[in-house]
Amino acid sequence: MVRVNEPRPRTAPEKLHRAMYRDMLLSRELSDRMFALNRQGRAAFAVTGQGHEAAQVGSAHALRRGTDWVLPYYRDVGVLVALGMTPRDILLGLFAKAGDPASGGRQMPCHWSWPEMRVVTRSSVIAANLPHAAGIAYASKLRGLKEVSVVYFGEGATSEGDFHEAVNFAAIHKLPVVFFCENNGYAISESSEKQMSVLHVADRAKGYGITGSTVDGNDVLAVHQLSRWSIDECRRGRGPKLIEAKTYRLVPHTSSDDDRRYRTRAELDEWIKRDPIDRFRARLLDEGTMTPDEDAALREQIKRQVAEAVESAERAPEPAPEDALRHVFAEDGG
């Protein structure tokens, strides 16, 4: 007998889609809270990626967690959420608390590091993580390991020498690395037309003899499919791939930026209509993967989860002043 209102068993793709939707919602709620905490004077700085959730969550779900190497950039809240970092851990970084897993409060917020999940630490220097990814992939190849490195960056990073050196080196040595560009059209206030004379970042791949693909970065399933293929290709030893996910950030560059100085509200409104979360929700409801009641309950639960994490992280112990210089100079005993 089929009972009304009783959740039916879900197929494997449905479970994946629901998990991705949940991670997108969690990333958005957490990011909105981080910005609000800054505006309330409770957090010194926030950098988040509202609008990038489909690109970040879709690609991260294509990775082998704990096997593949991940080199995210500061905007990648959704990547870390999809890998399983808890809101509390992310918020400990925002509040620069002793328990911050990335750096014990020494780094800027969202400068991720998570050794167990092979998330590699980074500096704020744009594109510096690309040669690191190529180097890690070179080591994986020399050791004969079936692991892939995925490195994330914005389109502004492709103006840097590090981008070209890393892609060229990876192409020559056929390294298992996916270069994942989140093209949101701006490097802070500089529009991409002022940064590059090609229309698509993916066009640059030709110059290095590798495959470059452009995908709708606000379509989580399209991003997931292309990322899956690219990562599989790398694992099979077929050399690096460049992915360009076209998207838009729905918030200023950081909490220190005023985006009204360089982009119109009309442009922003156009992209709000293409919000990746709204799009995916409509699809899941339409396909019956999720009911409106389930959606409402999930959103409520995520709001509570983030509120509790804020409370707990804000109360967590501060780092000891004498720890400020740890890992800066050689220390006795290693």
Ligand X SMILES: Cc1ncc(C[n+]2csc(CCOP(=O)(O)OP(=O)(O)O)c2C)c(N)n1
Which positions lie near Mg ion, rule CB under 5 A?
154-156, 184, 187
157 binds, among Mg ion, ligand X, none (CB under 5 to 8 A by kind): ligand X
Containing H/E element for 114?
A: none
- Is 271 one of the binding residues for ligand X (CB under 6 A)? no
User: What whole-number distance in Å separates Cα of residue 330 and Cα of residue 72?
Assistant: 27
> Could you give the string, one character per residue 109-148, with x where binding to ligand X holds by CB under 6 A and - elsewhere?
---------------xxx----------------------
Closest CA to 17 of 221, 304, 228, 241: 221
Q: Where are the beta strands (DSSP E) in 135-196?
A: 149-154, 177-183, 186-187, 190-191
Q: How many residues does the chain have?
A: 334
Q: Provide the H-helix boundaries in 189-275.
A: 220-235, 265-272
Which of the ranges 3-11, 19-27, 182-190, 278-286 carries the binding residues for ligand X, by CB under 6 A?
A: 182-190
252 binds, among Mg ion, ligand X, none (CB under 5 to 8 A by kind): none
User: What whole-number distance in Å separates Cα of residue 334 and Cα of residue 332?
Assistant: 6
From the candidates 262, 279, 283, 299, which is the catalytic residue?
A: 262
Query: Is 70 within 8 Å of 119 (Cβ atoms)?
Result: yes
87, 156, 239, 276: which one binds ligand X (CB under 6 A): 156
- Is 75 one of the binding residues for ligand X (CB under 6 A)? yes
Task: Reply yes or no on whether 253 is catalytic.
Answer: yes
151, 157, 245, 310: which one binds ligand X (CB under 6 A): 157
88 binds, among Mg ion, ligand X, none (CB under 5 to 8 A by kind): none
Task: Reply yes or no on whether 111 is catalytic.
Answer: no
> What would the two tokens of residue 152 be?
């994330």
**Where in 183-242 is the site for ligand X (CB under 6 A)?**
184, 186-188
Helix (H, G, I), strand (E, B) or coil at 71: strand
188 binds, among ligand X, Mg ion, none (CB under 5 to 8 A by kind): ligand X
Angle at 58 between CA 47 and CA 54, to 5 degrees: 55
Catalytic residues: 249, 253, 262
Which residues of the chain form contacts with ligand X (CB under 6 A)?
A: 75, 124-126, 153-157, 182, 184, 186-188, 253
